[in-house]
Chain A
Amino acid sequence: MTLNLSVLTPNRIVWDSEVEEIVLSTNSGQIGILPNHAPIATAVDIGILRIRLNAQWLTMALMGGFARIGNNEITVLVNDAEKGSDIDPQEAQQTLEIAEANVKKAEGRRQKIEANLALRRARTRVEAINPIS
Protein backbone atom coordinates (compact mmCIF):
# COMPACT_ATOMS: atom_id res chain seq x y z
CA MET A 1 0.00 0.00 0.00
CA THR A 2 1.46 3.35 -0.92
CA LEU A 3 0.97 6.73 0.58
CA ASN A 4 0.75 9.86 -1.55
CA LEU A 5 1.81 13.19 -0.17
CA SER A 6 1.19 16.57 -1.75
CA VAL A 7 2.31 19.78 -0.11
CA LEU A 8 0.72 22.87 -1.64
CA THR A 9 1.28 26.59 -1.10
CA PRO A 10 -0.65 29.38 -2.81
CA ASN A 11 2.21 29.97 -5.22
CA ARG A 12 3.48 26.51 -6.07
CA ILE A 13 3.42 22.80 -5.47
CA VAL A 14 6.29 21.92 -3.15
CA TRP A 15 5.90 18.16 -3.03
CA ASP A 16 3.77 15.74 -4.98
CA SER A 17 4.86 12.10 -4.89
CA GLU A 18 4.85 8.86 -2.94
CA VAL A 19 6.29 8.59 0.55
CA GLU A 20 6.67 5.82 3.10
CA GLU A 21 5.91 7.69 6.28
CA ILE A 22 5.55 11.26 7.50
CA VAL A 23 5.62 13.02 10.85
CA LEU A 24 3.44 16.13 10.92
CA SER A 25 3.38 18.82 13.60
CA THR A 26 -0.21 19.68 14.38
CA ASN A 27 -1.56 22.17 16.88
CA SER A 28 -1.98 19.36 19.40
CA GLY A 29 1.43 17.76 18.92
CA GLN A 30 3.23 15.65 16.39
CA ILE A 31 1.48 12.81 14.64
CA GLY A 32 3.08 10.08 12.58
CA ILE A 33 1.24 8.84 9.53
CA LEU A 34 1.72 5.45 7.91
CA PRO A 35 -0.24 3.92 5.05
CA ASN A 36 -3.90 3.11 5.77
CA HIS A 37 -4.28 5.83 8.34
CA ALA A 38 -7.78 6.75 9.50
CA PRO A 39 -9.26 9.86 7.83
CA ILE A 40 -8.25 13.01 9.68
CA ALA A 41 -8.62 16.72 9.07
CA THR A 42 -6.24 18.75 11.18
CA ALA A 43 -4.70 22.16 11.59
CA VAL A 44 -0.96 22.26 10.91
CA ASP A 45 1.23 24.31 13.19
CA ILE A 46 4.34 26.24 12.29
CA GLY A 47 6.79 23.36 12.48
CA ILE A 48 8.73 20.66 10.74
CA LEU A 49 7.37 18.01 8.45
CA ARG A 50 9.50 14.87 8.34
CA ILE A 51 9.23 12.61 5.33
CA ARG A 52 10.63 9.08 5.11
CA LEU A 53 11.50 8.09 1.59
CA ASN A 54 13.75 5.16 0.67
CA ALA A 55 14.78 4.73 4.32
CA GLN A 56 15.96 8.33 4.49
CA TRP A 57 14.40 11.18 6.41
CA LEU A 58 13.83 14.53 4.68
CA THR A 59 12.65 17.65 6.43
CA MET A 60 10.48 20.52 5.37
CA ALA A 61 9.61 23.74 7.19
CA LEU A 62 5.85 24.40 7.19
CA MET A 63 4.38 27.80 8.05
CA GLY A 64 0.95 26.79 9.30
CA GLY A 65 -2.11 25.59 7.48
CA PHE A 66 -4.22 22.46 7.13
CA ALA A 67 -3.84 18.82 6.36
CA ARG A 68 -6.30 16.24 5.18
CA ILE A 69 -5.51 12.57 5.45
CA GLY A 70 -7.72 9.93 3.96
CA ASN A 71 -7.72 7.06 1.53
CA ASN A 72 -3.89 7.01 1.55
CA GLU A 73 -3.80 10.55 0.24
CA ILE A 74 -2.23 13.27 2.32
CA THR A 75 -2.90 16.85 1.26
CA VAL A 76 -1.07 19.54 3.17
CA LEU A 77 -2.14 23.12 2.49
CA VAL A 78 0.15 25.68 4.02
CA ASN A 79 0.87 29.39 3.82
CA ASP A 80 4.45 28.66 2.91
CA ALA A 81 6.74 25.65 2.79
CA GLU A 82 10.43 25.18 2.22
CA LYS A 83 12.49 22.03 1.85
CA GLY A 84 15.28 21.79 4.41
CA SER A 85 17.82 21.35 1.63
CA ASP A 86 16.65 24.58 -0.07
CA ILE A 87 17.18 26.83 2.94
CA ASP A 88 20.37 28.84 3.13
CA PRO A 89 21.81 28.03 6.61
CA GLN A 90 23.52 31.40 7.07
CA GLU A 91 20.48 33.40 6.03
CA ALA A 92 18.19 31.32 8.28
CA GLN A 93 20.55 31.78 11.26
CA GLN A 94 20.64 35.53 10.69
CA THR A 95 16.87 35.74 10.45
CA LEU A 96 16.63 33.83 13.72
CA GLU A 97 18.95 36.30 15.45
CA ILE A 98 16.98 39.26 14.13
CA ALA A 99 13.74 37.63 15.25
CA GLU A 100 15.16 37.02 18.74
CA ALA A 101 16.19 40.66 18.99
CA ASN A 102 12.74 41.78 17.83
CA VAL A 103 11.00 39.72 20.52
CA LYS A 104 12.98 41.54 23.19
CA LYS A 105 12.20 44.92 21.65
CA ALA A 106 8.51 44.27 21.04
CA GLU A 107 6.01 46.34 22.97
CA GLY A 108 2.29 45.97 23.18
CA ARG A 109 0.18 42.88 22.73
CA ARG A 110 -0.05 42.84 18.99
CA GLN A 111 3.63 43.45 18.39
CA LYS A 112 4.59 40.76 20.88
CA ILE A 113 2.38 38.18 19.22
CA GLU A 114 3.74 39.05 15.81
CA ALA A 115 7.35 38.95 17.00
CA ASN A 116 6.77 35.59 18.64
CA LEU A 117 5.30 34.17 15.47
CA ALA A 118 8.26 35.46 13.46
CA LEU A 119 10.60 33.84 15.99
CA ARG A 120 8.82 30.50 15.69
CA ARG A 121 9.02 30.67 11.91
CA ALA A 122 12.73 31.47 12.03
CA ARG A 123 13.37 28.71 14.55
CA THR A 124 11.53 26.18 12.41
CA ARG A 125 13.63 27.06 9.40
CA VAL A 126 16.85 26.61 11.35
CA GLU A 127 15.60 23.31 12.75
CA ALA A 128 14.70 22.11 9.29
CA ILE A 129 18.35 22.47 8.26
CA ASN A 130 19.78 20.46 11.15
CA PRO A 131 17.11 17.92 12.00
CA ILE A 132 17.56 16.39 15.44
CA SER A 133 16.81 12.78 14.69
Chain B
Amino acid sequence: MAMAALRRDGRRFATNPIPLNILRSSLVPSEEPVSSGVRNISTQVVRNRMKSVKNIQKITKAMKMVAASKLRAIQTRAENSRGLWQPFTALLGDTPSVDVKKNVIITVSSDKGLCGGINSTSVKISRALHKLNSGPEKENKYVVLGEKAKAQLVRDSKKDIELIMTELQKNPLNYTQVSVLADDILKNVEFDALRIIYNKFQSVVSFLPTMSTVLSPEVVEREAESGGKLGDLDSYEVEGAETKAEVLQNLAEFQFSCVLFNAVLENATSEQGARMSAMDSSSRNAGDMLDRLTLTYNRTRQASITTELIEIISGASALEG
Protein backbone atom coordinates (compact mmCIF):
# COMPACT_ATOMS: atom_id res chain seq x y z
CA MET B 1 0.00 0.00 0.00
CA ALA B 2 2.72 2.41 1.05
CA MET B 3 4.84 1.41 -1.92
CA ALA B 4 2.00 2.08 -4.29
CA ALA B 5 1.58 5.57 -2.91
CA LEU B 6 5.30 6.25 -3.31
CA ARG B 7 5.22 4.99 -6.87
CA ARG B 8 2.35 7.30 -7.67
CA ASP B 9 4.22 10.20 -6.14
CA GLY B 10 7.35 9.33 -8.04
CA ARG B 11 5.48 9.22 -11.31
CA ARG B 12 3.90 12.52 -10.61
CA PHE B 13 7.27 14.17 -10.00
CA ALA B 14 8.82 12.55 -13.01
CA THR B 15 6.15 13.43 -15.50
CA ASN B 16 4.87 16.71 -14.18
CA PRO B 17 6.18 19.32 -16.60
CA ILE B 18 4.14 22.27 -15.37
CA PRO B 19 6.66 24.09 -13.11
CA LEU B 20 9.31 23.97 -15.81
CA ASN B 21 6.94 25.21 -18.44
CA ILE B 22 5.88 28.16 -16.34
CA LEU B 23 9.49 29.18 -15.85
CA ARG B 24 10.31 28.81 -19.48
CA SER B 25 7.36 30.77 -20.71
CA SER B 26 8.03 33.63 -18.33
CA LEU B 27 11.62 33.84 -19.52
CA VAL B 28 11.36 33.42 -23.25
CA PRO B 29 7.83 33.99 -24.43
CA SER B 30 8.62 33.27 -28.07
CA GLU B 31 10.21 29.91 -27.31
CA GLU B 32 8.43 27.05 -29.11
CA PRO B 33 6.77 24.53 -26.79
CA VAL B 34 9.15 21.83 -25.64
CA SER B 35 7.89 18.30 -25.24
CA SER B 36 7.66 17.21 -21.63
CA GLY B 37 10.47 15.08 -20.39
CA VAL B 38 13.18 17.21 -22.03
CA ARG B 39 14.38 19.10 -19.01
CA ASN B 40 17.78 20.47 -19.94
CA ILE B 41 16.57 22.73 -22.70
CA SER B 42 15.17 25.20 -20.17
CA THR B 43 18.49 25.67 -18.41
CA GLN B 44 20.13 26.09 -21.78
CA VAL B 45 17.82 28.99 -22.64
CA VAL B 46 18.45 30.67 -19.31
CA ARG B 47 22.19 30.22 -19.75
CA ASN B 48 22.09 31.90 -23.16
CA ARG B 49 20.05 34.72 -21.79
CA MET B 50 22.52 35.19 -18.93
CA LYS B 51 25.40 35.33 -21.33
CA SER B 52 23.79 38.02 -23.46
CA VAL B 53 22.86 40.11 -20.42
CA LYS B 54 26.44 39.85 -19.21
CA ASN B 55 27.71 41.07 -22.56
CA ILE B 56 25.30 43.98 -22.62
CA GLN B 57 26.41 44.93 -19.14
CA LYS B 58 30.03 44.94 -20.29
CA ILE B 59 29.19 47.22 -23.20
CA THR B 60 27.19 49.71 -21.15
CA LYS B 61 29.92 49.80 -18.53
CA ALA B 62 32.50 50.62 -21.19
CA MET B 63 30.26 53.32 -22.65
CA LYS B 64 29.86 54.84 -19.23
CA MET B 65 33.62 55.00 -18.76
CA VAL B 66 34.07 56.65 -22.13
CA ALA B 67 31.35 59.20 -21.39
CA ALA B 68 32.87 59.95 -17.99
CA SER B 69 36.30 60.72 -19.40
CA LYS B 70 34.85 62.83 -22.21
CA LEU B 71 32.68 64.66 -19.73
CA ARG B 72 35.61 65.73 -17.61
CA ALA B 73 37.44 67.18 -20.61
CA ILE B 74 34.49 69.09 -21.99
CA GLN B 75 33.13 70.30 -18.67
CA THR B 76 36.10 72.55 -17.98
CA ARG B 77 35.82 74.02 -21.46
CA ALA B 78 32.11 74.72 -21.01
CA GLU B 79 32.77 76.39 -17.69
CA ASN B 80 35.48 78.57 -19.21
CA SER B 81 33.18 79.63 -22.01
CA ARG B 82 30.55 80.82 -19.55
CA GLY B 83 32.67 83.84 -18.68
CA LEU B 84 32.26 85.16 -22.19
CA TRP B 85 28.53 85.44 -22.57
CA GLN B 86 27.92 86.91 -19.13
CA PRO B 87 29.31 90.34 -20.09
CA PHE B 88 27.10 90.26 -23.17
CA THR B 89 24.08 89.56 -21.05
CA ALA B 90 25.09 92.46 -18.84
CA LEU B 91 25.33 94.81 -21.81
CA LEU B 92 22.64 93.64 -24.18
CA GLY B 93 20.51 91.67 -21.80
CA ASP B 94 18.86 88.34 -22.39
CA THR B 95 15.36 89.35 -23.33
CA PRO B 96 13.16 86.43 -24.25
CA SER B 97 10.01 88.54 -24.09
CA VAL B 98 10.86 91.06 -26.82
CA ASP B 99 8.16 90.74 -29.44
CA VAL B 100 9.44 90.52 -33.01
CA LYS B 101 8.22 89.37 -36.38
CA LYS B 102 10.86 86.98 -37.61
CA ASN B 103 11.85 84.42 -35.05
CA VAL B 104 14.54 81.89 -35.78
CA ILE B 105 14.70 78.97 -33.39
CA ILE B 106 18.07 77.31 -33.22
CA THR B 107 17.75 73.84 -31.76
CA VAL B 108 21.00 72.40 -30.48
CA SER B 109 21.12 68.62 -30.17
CA SER B 110 23.59 65.78 -30.28
CA ASP B 111 24.59 63.60 -33.21
CA LYS B 112 24.55 60.36 -31.29
CA GLY B 113 21.80 58.76 -29.28
CA LEU B 114 21.75 56.79 -26.02
CA CYS B 115 21.92 59.94 -23.98
CA GLY B 116 18.67 60.12 -22.06
CA GLY B 117 16.06 62.69 -22.87
CA ILE B 118 18.15 65.74 -23.66
CA ASN B 119 17.41 65.76 -27.38
CA SER B 120 13.70 65.27 -27.08
CA THR B 121 13.63 67.98 -24.39
CA SER B 122 15.18 70.55 -26.67
CA VAL B 123 12.93 69.52 -29.55
CA LYS B 124 9.88 69.75 -27.30
CA ILE B 125 10.85 73.22 -26.09
CA SER B 126 11.50 74.35 -29.67
CA ARG B 127 8.09 73.15 -30.77
CA ALA B 128 6.42 74.87 -27.84
CA LEU B 129 8.24 78.09 -28.68
CA HIS B 130 7.20 77.77 -32.29
CA LYS B 131 3.59 77.46 -31.26
CA LEU B 132 3.87 80.26 -28.74
CA ASN B 133 5.30 82.73 -31.21
CA SER B 134 3.14 81.82 -34.16
CA GLY B 135 0.47 84.25 -35.21
CA PRO B 136 -0.61 86.39 -38.11
CA GLU B 137 2.22 88.31 -39.79
CA LYS B 138 4.75 86.32 -37.84
CA GLU B 139 7.37 84.04 -39.18
CA ASN B 140 9.00 81.17 -37.36
CA LYS B 141 11.91 79.24 -38.77
CA TYR B 142 14.07 76.46 -37.44
CA VAL B 143 17.79 76.08 -37.68
CA VAL B 144 18.71 72.59 -36.59
CA LEU B 145 22.10 71.57 -35.23
CA GLY B 146 22.71 67.87 -34.74
CA GLU B 147 21.40 64.62 -36.15
CA LYS B 148 18.86 63.81 -33.44
CA ALA B 149 16.83 67.00 -33.53
CA LYS B 150 16.90 66.80 -37.31
CA ALA B 151 15.34 63.34 -37.24
CA GLN B 152 12.56 64.54 -34.96
CA LEU B 153 11.83 67.92 -36.56
CA VAL B 154 12.02 66.88 -40.21
CA ARG B 155 8.98 64.66 -39.71
CA ASP B 156 6.42 67.33 -38.90
CA SER B 157 7.96 70.75 -39.56
CA LYS B 158 9.94 70.21 -42.70
CA LYS B 159 8.67 73.36 -44.38
CA ASP B 160 9.85 75.55 -41.52
CA ILE B 161 13.41 74.30 -41.42
CA GLU B 162 15.77 76.80 -42.93
CA LEU B 163 19.11 75.18 -42.29
CA ILE B 164 20.36 71.85 -40.98
CA MET B 165 23.89 71.24 -39.77
CA THR B 166 25.15 67.95 -38.43
CA GLU B 167 28.38 66.30 -37.37
CA LEU B 168 29.37 69.29 -35.32
CA GLN B 169 31.37 67.19 -32.92
CA LYS B 170 33.41 65.23 -35.38
CA ASN B 171 36.40 67.32 -34.39
CA PRO B 172 36.74 68.67 -30.86
CA LEU B 173 34.64 71.80 -30.58
CA ASN B 174 36.58 75.02 -30.90
CA TYR B 175 35.67 78.67 -31.18
CA THR B 176 36.93 79.12 -34.74
CA GLN B 177 34.71 76.34 -36.00
CA VAL B 178 31.67 77.63 -34.16
CA SER B 179 32.17 81.21 -35.32
CA VAL B 180 32.33 80.01 -38.93
CA LEU B 181 29.08 78.17 -38.27
CA ALA B 182 27.57 81.29 -36.72
CA ASP B 183 28.61 83.30 -39.78
CA ASP B 184 26.90 80.75 -42.00
CA ILE B 185 23.69 81.07 -40.07
CA LEU B 186 23.81 84.87 -40.09
CA LYS B 187 24.42 84.96 -43.82
CA ASN B 188 21.72 82.49 -44.81
CA VAL B 189 18.90 83.28 -42.45
CA GLU B 190 16.86 86.46 -42.06
CA PHE B 191 15.93 87.17 -38.50
CA ASP B 192 14.80 89.70 -35.94
CA ALA B 193 15.57 87.45 -33.04
CA LEU B 194 17.57 84.26 -32.76
CA ARG B 195 16.46 81.95 -30.02
CA ILE B 196 18.97 79.27 -29.17
CA ILE B 197 17.58 76.21 -27.39
CA TYR B 198 20.04 73.98 -25.61
CA ASN B 199 20.51 71.97 -22.43
CA LYS B 200 22.47 73.87 -19.85
CA PHE B 201 24.73 71.66 -17.82
CA GLN B 202 24.09 71.97 -14.11
CA SER B 203 25.43 68.74 -12.71
CA VAL B 204 25.96 65.22 -13.96
CA VAL B 205 22.34 64.39 -13.27
CA SER B 206 20.56 67.66 -14.03
CA PHE B 207 20.30 69.57 -17.27
CA LEU B 208 18.23 72.67 -17.68
CA PRO B 209 16.62 73.28 -21.05
CA THR B 210 17.54 76.89 -21.72
CA MET B 211 16.77 79.56 -24.25
CA SER B 212 19.24 82.33 -25.09
CA THR B 213 17.99 85.20 -27.17
CA VAL B 214 20.14 87.18 -29.58
CA LEU B 215 18.44 90.18 -31.12
CA SER B 216 19.26 91.65 -34.49
CA PRO B 217 21.08 95.01 -34.44
CA GLU B 218 18.00 96.88 -35.64
CA VAL B 219 15.87 95.48 -32.85
CA VAL B 220 18.59 96.24 -30.31
CA GLU B 221 18.70 99.86 -31.46
CA ARG B 222 14.94 100.19 -31.43
CA GLU B 223 14.64 98.75 -27.96
CA ALA B 224 17.50 100.84 -26.61
CA GLU B 225 16.05 104.07 -27.96
CA SER B 226 12.54 103.43 -26.78
CA GLY B 227 14.07 102.88 -23.35
CA GLY B 228 12.42 99.51 -23.04
CA LYS B 229 14.21 96.48 -21.72
CA LEU B 230 17.55 97.55 -23.15
CA GLY B 231 17.44 101.08 -21.79
CA ASP B 232 20.79 100.51 -20.09
CA LEU B 233 22.57 100.40 -23.39
CA ASP B 234 21.72 104.01 -24.10
CA SER B 235 23.75 105.19 -21.13
CA TYR B 236 26.86 103.96 -22.87
CA GLU B 237 28.58 106.14 -25.39
CA VAL B 238 29.20 104.01 -28.47
CA GLU B 239 32.55 104.48 -30.10
CA GLY B 240 34.85 102.74 -32.49
CA ALA B 241 33.19 103.03 -35.89
CA GLU B 242 31.48 105.47 -38.23
CA THR B 243 27.97 104.85 -37.00
CA LYS B 244 26.31 103.31 -34.01
CA ALA B 245 24.50 100.85 -36.25
CA GLU B 246 27.81 99.53 -37.52
CA VAL B 247 29.07 98.89 -34.01
CA LEU B 248 25.80 97.23 -33.05
CA GLN B 249 25.96 95.04 -36.12
CA ASN B 250 29.43 93.85 -35.17
CA LEU B 251 28.43 93.49 -31.58
CA ALA B 252 25.39 91.35 -32.42
CA GLU B 253 27.45 89.07 -34.64
CA PHE B 254 30.11 88.67 -31.98
CA GLN B 255 27.47 88.09 -29.34
CA PHE B 256 25.80 85.43 -31.44
CA SER B 257 28.99 83.48 -32.06
CA CYS B 258 29.92 83.62 -28.38
CA VAL B 259 26.47 82.59 -27.19
CA LEU B 260 26.33 79.82 -29.75
CA PHE B 261 29.78 78.62 -28.71
CA ASN B 262 28.66 78.45 -25.12
CA ALA B 263 25.38 76.75 -26.09
CA VAL B 264 27.09 74.09 -28.15
CA LEU B 265 29.59 73.36 -25.40
CA GLU B 266 26.92 73.25 -22.69
CA ASN B 267 24.86 70.87 -24.79
CA ALA B 268 27.82 68.62 -25.47
CA THR B 269 28.56 68.51 -21.75
CA SER B 270 24.94 67.67 -20.98
CA GLU B 271 25.03 64.96 -23.62
CA GLN B 272 28.01 63.26 -22.01
CA GLY B 273 26.50 63.63 -18.55
CA ALA B 274 23.18 62.21 -19.67
CA ARG B 275 24.88 59.35 -21.45
CA MET B 276 26.91 58.61 -18.37
CA SER B 277 23.89 58.37 -16.09
CA ALA B 278 21.86 56.46 -18.68
CA MET B 279 24.64 53.91 -19.10
CA ASP B 280 25.11 53.71 -15.35
CA SER B 281 21.47 52.85 -14.77
CA SER B 282 21.40 50.35 -17.62
CA SER B 283 24.45 48.52 -16.26
CA ARG B 284 22.71 48.45 -12.90
CA ASN B 285 19.56 47.07 -14.52
CA ALA B 286 21.60 44.43 -16.28
CA GLY B 287 23.08 43.46 -12.91
CA ASP B 288 19.61 43.10 -11.37
CA MET B 289 18.44 41.04 -14.30
CA LEU B 290 21.48 38.82 -14.08
CA ASP B 291 20.77 38.19 -10.39
CA ARG B 292 17.20 37.20 -11.17
CA LEU B 293 18.26 34.94 -14.02
CA THR B 294 20.91 33.25 -11.89
CA LEU B 295 18.30 32.51 -9.27
CA THR B 296 15.92 30.96 -11.81
CA TYR B 297 18.74 29.02 -13.38
CA ASN B 298 19.85 27.55 -10.08
CA ARG B 299 16.30 26.75 -9.08
CA THR B 300 15.59 24.95 -12.32
CA ARG B 301 18.79 23.03 -12.09
CA GLN B 302 18.06 22.02 -8.52
CA ALA B 303 14.52 21.00 -9.49
CA SER B 304 15.73 18.75 -12.26
CA ILE B 305 18.32 17.16 -9.99
CA THR B 306 15.68 16.49 -7.36
CA THR B 307 13.35 14.99 -9.93
CA GLU B 308 16.06 12.72 -11.27
CA LEU B 309 16.99 11.57 -7.79
CA ILE B 310 13.39 10.74 -7.01
CA GLU B 311 13.10 8.81 -10.26
CA ILE B 312 16.14 6.75 -9.42
CA ILE B 313 15.08 6.13 -5.85
CA SER B 314 11.53 5.22 -6.76
CA GLY B 315 12.77 3.02 -9.59
CA ALA B 316 15.10 1.20 -7.24
CA SER B 317 12.46 0.78 -4.54
CA ALA B 318 10.00 -0.49 -7.15
CA LEU B 319 12.48 -3.22 -8.08
CA GLU B 320 13.00 -4.09 -4.42
CA GLY B 321 9.29 -4.17 -3.71
Provide the residues of chain B in CB contact with A31, threshold 8 Å.
Answer: 239
- Stretch from A4-12, A51-59, A121-129 at the B interface: A4-12
Interface size on B, residues (CB 8 A): 26
B83 within 8 A of A: yes
Per the bound structure, the CA–CA distance linking A75 and B250 in Å amounts to 16
B237 within 8 A of A: yes
B258 within 8 A of A: yes
Decide yes or no: A9 and B84 within 8 Å by CB, A26-B239, A39-B237 being known contacts: yes
Q: Which of A6, A10, A41, A65 contacts B237 (CB 8 A)?
A: A41
A42 within 8 A of B: yes
B240 within 8 A of A: yes
- B87 and A42 contacting across the interface, CB-CB below 8 Å: no
Provide the residues of chain A in CB contact with B239, threshold 8 Å.
Answer: 26, 28, 31, 40-43
Per the bound structure, the CA–CA distance linking A26 and B250 in Å amounts to 13
B13 within 8 A of A: no
Q: Mark A1-32, 1 if CB is under 8 A from B, else 0.
A: 00000101111110000000000001110010
Per the bound structure, the CA–CA distance linking A44 and B174 in Å amounts to 22
- A77 and B87 contacting across the interface, CB-CB below 8 Å: yes
Provide the residues of chain A in CB contact with B83, threshold 8 Å.
Answer: 8, 13
Chain A: CB-nearest residue to B87: A75
Q: Could you jot down 17 A-B contacts, CB within 8 Å?
A: A6-B87, A8-B87, A9-B84, A9-B175, A10-B175, A10-B261, A11-B80, A11-B81, A11-B174, A12-B80, A13-B80, A39-B235, A40-B238, A41-B239, A43-B241, A70-B235, A75-B90
